[in-house]
A and B are shown apart, each in its own frame.
Chain A
């Protein structure tokens, strides 16, 4: 159980276009999801915390107007990279926590989305 699915697994887009990445909790409800960004051979950097039914909380230095996060249901959060530029090319990973047993469940991660902006 506790599977997190991300879609697409990879995407190539042109500069100036927008890309939407979906994160779904397949067999549990996730009131909170986290979005991370990872550059090659580097660690995961938290971008924002996504809460179902409310606005996302962004980490310092992350542009909320560029990285739009929507968490409209207990099983789906989306990250939209708007007006993408080559420097936005990265590996984006979401994670979700299973609230089924309160505050005692670990974070489970999706398999990431490789974004390449040309």
Chain B
């Protein structure tokens, strides 16, 4: 089955700096890759997603890149703010409606 690896497990940056979180997946059939932000005591919130027919997608300060050949995808957050502090999860699935397999999570801390 699918296996998703996520790095780093913790990331601390200064406010205004960029943050990058990387994930790799094992199943070449996976074609949908969402990123979720989870705040303490809450459920995950979708922040951006990308399909395998696209190499990059951007939404304001957030961008995701996908390298299908290498089977890895990354989340980029620019101009980080303290409210970006949370746990971020990458995930992969076969088709958008398939079950999601999550990475281990990255705890991002943005220091003011």
Residues on A facing B (Cβ under 8 Å): 4, 6, 32, 34, 41-46, 49, 93, 95, 97, 103-112, 114
> Are B89 and A43 in contact, CB atoms less than 8 angstroms apart?
yes
- Expressed in whole angstroms, the Cα–Cα distance for A105 and B44 within the complex equals 16
Contacting residue for B43 out of A43, A49, A93, CB 8 A: A93
- B96 on the A face (CB < 8 A): yes
Q: What is the interface of chain B mostly: helix, strand, loop, or mixed?
A: loop
Residues on B facing A (Cβ under 8 Å): 34, 36, 41-46, 49, 89, 95-97, 99-105, 107
Smallest CB-CB separation from A108: which chain B residue? B46
Smallest CB-CB separation from B101: which chain A residue? A46
- Expressed in whole angstroms, the Cα–Cα distance for A97 and B100 within the complex equals 12
> Are A43 and B42 in contact, CB atoms less than 8 angstroms apart?
no
Query: Assuming A42-B105, A43-B104, A93-B43, is B96 touching A105 (CB within 8 A)?
Result: yes
> Are B43 and A107 in contact, CB atoms less than 8 angstroms apart?
no
Q: How far is the CB of A83 from chain B (nearest CB, A)?
A: 26
Query: Assuming A43-B102, A43-B104, is B46 touching A106 (CB within 8 A)?
Result: yes
Query: Assuming A42-B105, A43-B105, A93-B44, is B99 touching A49 (CB within 8 A)?
Result: yes
